[in-house]
Structure 1
Amino acid sequence: MQLEIRPDPAEVGRARRWARSRLAGSGIEADEPLAETLILLVSELVTNAVVHTGCPAVLRLSLPGGAQDHTTVRLEVADRSGQAPVPRCADGDATGGRGLALVDGLADRWGWSAEGAGKRIWCELDRGAESATPAPAYGSGVSAYEGLAYEAV
């Protein structure tokens, strides 16, 4: 499944709505923590593509086939910018700069690769992981991100 994204901030909301609509047939309920995490990751990656590249992008979503399918959910955003994703250090008053840190903290795995003249940023969530390993409480934890430390507050 994929959605073409224009370089317009209004596309972020459209991408979230599109992703929510795809959850219906996947066996992932809209109020499950996995669904909420997935929508937040869609929002962050599409926002990064729209705001930082100024190029059209493609959102791809690979969902499990049903309620008993314990596979991986994969989200990808491909854009036409060759600019590598760069983590930023955001101070407490900054209104941006936390997107990749959120992706790093929420996804089980993530990365990026060059693709033609552009790049593909991807992340994965393990379907059964939310019941096996409880998520840390909101506002706790310190994580390392490429030599940078951030604290969720």
Structure 2
Amino acid sequence: MTMVVAERAWCLVVPHHARGARLARHRLAAELAGAVNSALLTDVIVVAAELVGNAVRHADPLPGGVIRVSWRLAPGAVADVVEVRVTDGGAGSSVPRPREVGMDATGGRGLSIVAALADGWGVDRDGLGQSVWARLSTAAD
């Protein structure tokens, strides 16, 4: 007998403040614990924290002084896929991209970390702002 698990999605609104990343990490961990293997969960939490941190440092908030964090789990027979999306008010005309930083730099590695952990990532813009998303997967347990 084959069991099919439906796709699941969550959305969380956090303050446009450093504590927003902590709130997102805790909620992700609570919702995805047991649903994906621990390696994927760890990577998803790191990526979400980096994306929220970047939104706080480099972008305007959405109306109400918030950032929207959403994630979607698509379980599969071969691999589980989690997509994380962080939506903010945008940062003018600049498009988020990884930066090259020196060994002694104390910041600037966020999107490089995201790119290293994710299967893919990108930026979508609409009339409300911008979303930076990352898709991660790993073989199911």
Give identity over the alignment, percent.
Answer: 33
**How big is the shift at 1:69?**
7.3
Code of the aligned partner of 1:75:
V
Structure with greater proportional strand content: 2
Structure 2 residue aligned with 1:92: 103
Code of the aligned partner of 2:71:
L
Unaligned stretches of 5+ residues in structure 2 = 1-9
* 1:126-146 superposed Cα distances (whole Å, 9 cap, x missing partner): 2428x8xxxxxxxxxxxxxxx
Structure 2 residue corresponding to 1:63, chosen from 58, 66, 73? 73
Q: TM-score, normalised by structure 1?
A: 0.73
**How big is the shift at 1:49?**
0.7
**How big is the shift at 1:51?**
1.3
CA root-mean-square deviation: 2.2
Code of the aligned partner of 1:38:
V
**How big is the shift at 1:54?**
3.9
**How big is the shift at 1:5?**
1.9
* 1:81-106 superposed Cα distances (whole Å, 9 cap, x missing partner): 15421322211111110001111111
Retained in 2: the 8 A contact 1:110–1:121?
yes
Q: TM-score, normalised by structure 2?
A: 0.79
Higher RCO (C-alpha 8 Å, min separation 6): 2
**Whole-Å separation in 2 of the counterparts to 1:106 and 1:95:** 20
**Whole-Å separation in 1 of the counterparts to 2:81 and 2:119:** 10
57-66 or 115-124, larger mean C-alpha shift: 57-66
Deviating 4+ runs (over 4 angstroms)? none
Structure 1 residue corresponding to 2:54, chosen from 35, 48, 72? 48
**Whole-Å separation in 2 of the counterparts to 1:71 and 1:37:** 13
* 1:48-107 superposed Cα distances (whole Å, 9 cap, x missing partner): 0111114121000102358x5734211001111154213222111111100011111110
Unaligned stretches of 5+ residues in structure 1 = 132-153
Structure 2 residue corresponding to 1:113, chosen from 99, 124, 137? 124
Task: Report SS of the residue matched to 1:63.
Answer: strand
Q: How many residues align?
A: 126
Structure 2 residue corresponding to 1:37, chosen from 28, 43, 46? 43
